[in-house]
Structure 1
Amino acid sequence: METSSLSLKSAIDNLFAHHDLSLMKVRGQSYDGASNMKGEFNGLKTLIMNENESAYYVHCFAHQLQLALVAVARKHVDIADFFNIISTLMNVMGASCKRKDMIRQKQAKKVAKGIKSGLIETGKGLNQELSLKRAGDTRWGSHYRSLLNLAALFSYVVEVLEVVSCDATDSSKKVQARGLLRYLQSFGFVFNL
């Protein structure tokens, strides 16, 4: 999808025309701080205000809160360390198709066993495959989803790290896996998670 200010303005014009709305009645607009949105000369804010000076711009409060939350989390040493270690864990687990497949197979076996025993319901949207995903810096929700998936797959992650710590041919990978295992099984990790 094209996200230039001109294409976004065109999409808004089309939406307003489709619903018989007038841009002249808009009294406010709010976006994140990207240049295509609030740019002084060619941003969407400016294009709309050129047509309607009463469509005042306010930086999106949710985005401001997001930026403040990330800044505060980075200033807290334990939480910053926690997310750095989570990032390392995502690198270790995501760097190998074999490791990703091990987690996927373990999860599939558990779901199949749960369905067979009647402990897990089946239906549309249920029992979706989970994976470990790297969190994005600009959306705190991605940190949350990443941590939820880690918590759901925790026992599998530990099992895979145990395999790597014993069977890896590269000694640095063994050391890294052992360090991650120690951290994941610590009170500090559980508390921060």
Structure 2
Amino acid sequence: MKQKQHIEVVFQKHSDQAKRDYRTHLTATIECIRFLLRQGLAFRGDDESHNSNNQGNILELLDFLAQHNTEIDRVLKNARGNLKLVAPKIQKDIVRAAASETTKVIIDDLGDDLFAVLVDEAREISVKEQMAVCLRYVNKEGIVMERFLGLVHVSSTNALSLKVALESLLTKHNLSLARIRGQGYDGATNMQGEFNGLKSLILKENACAFYVRCFAHQLQLALVVVAKKQVKIALLFNLLASLCNIVGASCKRKDMLRESQMQKTIVALQNRDVSSGRGLNQETTLKRAGDTRWGSHYGTILSLISIFSSVVEVLEVIKEDGNNPEQRA
């Protein structure tokens, strides 16, 4: 007789409210996950129990959000134990959805245009060999874009296995080897080998997929090899490497170096031996040279020249107070 009290009406009202609460809960969880993904932060903590002082980023962020939003706080407190949306499986499911949407935007931006592939493989912490694939293309505004497409687990790192893995990833996104116009790999044999490398296997199917290796990288390696054939130059940079290791081996020595250089800079400014101004006299330290980093050897020499007297002071201290005879020597 009273329709507002009818059991069907009560169920309908309860269902609508439950849907609204679930949407609020899900939206809050997705926003927290999006934030962590953008920042590249870990989701889980070592101890996610209720008594933990740090439950991990995802739970702490949800709690922070609830403290500043009464509606979210109410929904999270009233959520059933099996509907908290914080289980690792649920988190990964939402992350996969985010990755799928992001990849879809990249593929739509590429459209039907040609592209180049940038590929590298490396072993991750769980001792699995992974192949990373990036796309390089020109978008509709004429801007060169480089976008990460995905990771593919490869059981073997031979060229044929890498090619099969690359093809499967491209096919998954409706791309093909025929649209490739450039290949970019490192110098590993299985990648850029002249006869059986990944480069050669793709070129056999698509002669327009030109291989390009970083010329600056090649030139830097060649210069380092040629220069170090001169004994005096090789000795100089070996000495510089040892110097960087000894002076920068501990935080204590780095602090000593900074303090010494700061005092010298203050005195020089007072005596007007150096100019003051924005961007001048900034804190510096010994730069390490790397065989694959362009200009790094030159940078190492410049950094040593600029703080030479401070480095000598630190070495004098190490000579007196070093932990072992090798360091003091």
TM band (smaller chain): 0.5 to 0.7
CA contact (8 A) 2:183 2:211 kept: yes
Q: What one-letter code is carried by the residue in structure 1 that aligns with 2:252?
A: K
Equivalence for 2:246:
92
Larger strand fraction of residues? 2
Are 1:19 and 2:141 an aligned pair?
yes
CA contact (8 A) 2:181 2:208 kept: yes
Question: Whose Rg is larger?
Answer: 2
CA offsets 1:121-178 (integer angstroms, 9 cap, x no match): 221x32221111221121241111111111111111111112222333533322x2xx
TM-score, structure 1 length as denominator?
A: 0.66
Equivalence for 2:277:
122
CA offsets 1:20-54 (integer angstroms, 9 cap, x no match): 589x9x9777775367975743x6x987x799743
How many residue pairs are counted as aligned between the two chains? 165
Q: CA deviation at 1:95?
A: 1.3
Distance 2:221 2:323 in 1: 41
CA contact (8 A) 1:131 1:149 kept: yes
Q: What one-letter code is carried by the residue in structure 2 that aligns with 1:127?
A: N
Q: CA deviation at 1:64?
A: 2.4
Distance 1:21 1:54 in 2: 22
* Superposition pairs of residues 22-41 of structure 1, within 5 angstroms: 33=187, 38=192, 40-41=197-198
CA RMSD, Structure 1 to Structure 2 (Å): 3.7
Partner SS for 2:285: coil
Q: Aligned pair in 2 of structure 1 residues 34, 21: CA closer, same or farther (>3 Å)?
A: farther
Q: What one-letter code is carried by the residue in structure 1 that aligns with 2:240?
A: I
Q: What one-letter code is carried by the residue in structure 2 that aligns with 1:95?
A: A
Partner SS for 1:33: coil
Partner SS for 2:305: helix
Distance 2:229 2:142 in 1: 48
CA offsets 1:91-120 (integer angstroms, 9 cap, x no match): 110112222111101111223334445532
Equivalence for 1:171:
325
* More moved, 109-118 vs 153-162: 109-118
Partner SS for 1:8: strand
Q: CA deviation at 1:19?
A: 2.2
State which of 248, 252, 260 in structure 2 corresponds to 1:106: 260
State which of 68, 73, 94 in structure 1 corresponds to 2:222: 68
Larger helix fraction of residues? 1
Q: What one-letter code is carried by the residue in structure 2 that aligns with 1:142?
A: S
Q: Aligned pair in 2 of structure 1 residues 109, 57: CA closer, same or farther (>3 Å)?
A: same
Distance 2:181 2:249 in 1: 49
* Unmatched tracts of structure 1, length 5 or more: 177-193
Structure with greater contact order relative to length (CA < 8 Å, sep ≥ 6): 1
Equivalence for 1:139:
293
TM-score, structure 2 length as denominator?
A: 0.41
Equivalence for 1:158:
312
Partner SS for 2:134: helix
* More moved, 92-101 vs 109-118: 109-118
* Unmatched tracts of structure 2, length 5 or more: 1-39, 41-117, 121-131, 145-177
| Percent identical | 48
